[in-house]
Chains A and B, each alone.
Chain A
Amino acid sequence: MANKILVFIEQRNGLIKKPSFEAAKTAADLAVKLSGTVEAVAIGNEIEELEKVGSYGVAKVTHFKNSDLANYSPSAYAEIITKFVNENGFDILFFGATSMGKDLAPRVSAKLDAGLAIDCVALNADSNDIIATRPVFAGKALVDVKITSPKKVFALRPNVFNPGVPSDAKADLTVVNVDDPNLNVRVTEIKKAEGKLDVAEADIIVSGGRGMKGPEHFHLVEELSQILGAATGASRAVVDAGWRPHGEQVGQTGKTVSPTLYIALGISGAIQHLAGMRSSKYIVAVNKDKDAPIFQIADYGIVGDLFEVVPAMIEEIKKIKS
């Protein structure tokens, strides 16, 4: 194994996504451990500050450029990466397990006939073995896996790997113009949810459940989210009831999240919900029922009426923020 590592740097709107820095740092550390080399590849049109990957330990980055590649094109991106890997003999690939990374990594893996470990939450390398840990059953269990094919693809769960403190180093940038990319599958438009932070990317999440008693009371969840700079989440029960959109659902058939702070309001804590948020660093629960399972995993709990407690929380946080 040559231990030539390649990190995919994801851009959206020309800006590098944070999980790519986490992947870059993890790949750079692994390269040191395995006495290998590491470089990065990015695909897009204009990309701001691509040299910044150098500050996470990756000294070389290649930018495949074409105006049609500004938006994600699964077919073009997969072809470009595969060709680059084959021409340069990379044998270990890293992606962030974002919505783009989870879509792209398997396509590249199939083209390379490489084993794939997706959504990794830990990596341990000794001599030439890399052991990846990944959650299964939405985090109700964890598996350690080893990829046995010559080429290996890893996608790292966002917000888990520490990107460390960036240095001042800048990567060497090579720009390659792409002629005639394969746009068989292409993104034609991006519809941003207006001013909304996604639960998958948020550092703080405020979630509401059945205890909110109706969609008309979710303004409390939104207000608390807003003053904390948090994303708004929801339990499956309220999504199924049509009170909230599916994009906000946290749990086994929604999103698995690991924010720094998770505030559960009127959520009893069904097993499938707990599976999706139990790895949050701090959990706060407000619920009327003292026996609600959510209190089993909450760091701080208030057993009480959320319609009284939440407005008080909003007032108290306003006080300290002003």
Chain B
Amino acid sequence: MKIAVCVSHVPDTAAKINIGSDGISIDPAGVTYVVNPYDEFAIEEALKSKEKFGGETVAISLGGDANKETLRKALAMGIDNAVLLKESGYRDSLSVSKALAEEINAQGAELVFFGKQSVDFDNSVVGQLTAELLGYNCISVAVSFTLDGNKIICEREIEGGKEVVETNLPAVITAQKGLNEPRYASLKGIMAAKKKEIIEKVPAAATNYVEVISMKKPASKQAGKIIGTDSSAVPELIRLLREEAKVI
């Protein structure tokens, strides 16, 4: 079975975000980029699936040359092949999904993993969009995954619980934290990844339907009152919550 995993290259969650001079994107100065955290669960599940069912794994990423770093990480963890869909400009979610769907189709992958969202634009939709474009079944926000023959059973996280979802291959699964424990890349894996070729392709141009008009920082919140340094401050705190904030 051919298994694909789609990965994105994003600012580290510890990064401070400043707005770039164009007013519609971030200032990359001083920002460290990493594998999207949710994509690590996707990579791990792709590797586990290959170990169980055999086949071949491929990691696909859309973006600039910097994304090769994330693809190398996927290779170091054990993914067999890597494809970079070269794109230097902006693409909205649907346009990203069209490029990914085209490549997944070309690869003939019938099981595809994504992180449930990229922690940059936080759209949480690319997996579902790509699945629809491919005509594949899709389960998003999965915290468990089992495949038996053609049949897939996942638990997905919902408000206040989980729902059990069933479907069949071919399918796209988007990974939530808790799905598995991503492995560390071994030294051998890291060395091997350095030698592997990352296949570069230029995806078909696609029209964007969502235009970013401006990006700004949220209004900064003013630090409030320090009411005290021990439990003697508690009655005053509760009074403020009741009378000033009126929240309890």
Contact status of A246 and B178, CB under 8 A, knowing A98-B159, A115-B92, A282-B241: yes
Contact check: which of A107, A196, A278 meets B138 at CB < 8 Å? A107
Contact status of A102 and B125, CB under 8 A, knowing A137-B119, A147-B210, A302-B226: yes
CB of A265 closer than 8 Å to a CB of B: no
Contact check: which of B13, B93, B159 meets A99 at CB < 8 Å? B159
CB of A34 closer than 8 Å to a CB of B: no
Note all chain A residues with C-beta closer than 8 A to B211.
145-148
Contact status of A138 and B14, CB under 8 A, knowing A186-B166, A304-B230: no
- Determine the distance from Cα of A138 to Cα of B97 in the docked complex, in whole angstroms: 21
Quick check: which of B74-82, B105-113, B193-201, B231-239 contacts chain A, the rest being far away?
A: B231-239
- Determine the distance from Cα of A268 to Cα of B110 in the docked complex, in whole angstroms: 44
Contact between B159 and A141, CB atoms less than 8 A apart: no
Note all chain B residues with C-beta closer than 8 A to A313.
234, 237-238
- Determine the distance from Cα of A270 to Cα of B214 in the docked complex, in whole angstroms: 26
Category for how many chain A residues contact B: 35 or more
- Inter-chain residue pair count (beta carbon < 8 A): 272
Distance in angstroms from B133 CB to nearest chain A CB is: 6
CB of A260 closer than 8 Å to a CB of B: yes
Contact between A302 and B241, CB atoms less than 8 A apart: no
Residue with the greatest number of chain A CB neighbours at <10 A, chosen from B94, B137, B214, B216 = B94
Contact between B125 and A106, CB atoms less than 8 A apart: yes
What per-residue 1/0 map shows which CB atoms of B205-248 lie under 8 Å from chain A?
Answer: 00011111111111001011111111101110110111001011
Secondary structure call for the B interface: mixed
Whose C-beta in chain B lies nearest to the C-beta of A189? B164
Contact between B13 and A252, CB atoms less than 8 A apart: yes
CB of A301 closer than 8 Å to a CB of B: yes
Note all chain B residues with C-beta closer than 8 A to A261.
241, 245, 247-248
- Determine the distance from Cα of A298 to Cα of B125 in the docked complex, in whole angstroms: 32
Residue with the greatest number of chain A CB neighbours at <10 A, chosen from B126, B230, B231 = B231
Residue with the greatest number of chain A CB neighbours at <10 A, chosen from B143, B158, B211 = B158
Note all chain A residues with C-beta closer than 8 A to B125.
102, 105-106, 109, 116, 118
Contact status of A309 and B234, CB under 8 A, knowing A110-B129, A111-B132, A141-B215: yes
Contact between B247 and A99, CB atoms less than 8 A apart: no
Contact between B139 and A185, CB atoms less than 8 A apart: yes
Contact status of A184 and B137, CB under 8 A, knowing A144-B212, A147-B210, A253-B37: yes
Note all chain B residues with C-beta closer than 8 A to A249.
177
Which residues of A (235-278) have their CB < 8 Å from a CB of B? 245-247, 249, 251-254, 256, 260-261, 270-272, 278
Contact between B225 and A301, CB atoms less than 8 A apart: yes
Chain B residues with a Cβ under 8 A of chain A = 11, 13-17, 19, 24, 26, 37-38, 92-94, 97, 119-126, 128-129, 131-133, 137-141, 143, 155-168, 176-178, 208-218, 221, 223-231, 233-235, 237-238, 240-242, 245, 247-248
Chain A residues with a Cβ under 8 A of chain B = 71-72, 74-75, 78, 98-100, 102-103, 105-107, 109-111, 113-119, 131, 134-149, 184-193, 196-198, 200-201, 204, 228, 245-247, 249, 251-254, 256, 260-261, 270-272, 278-279, 281-284, 290, 295-305, 308-309, 311-313, 316-317, 320
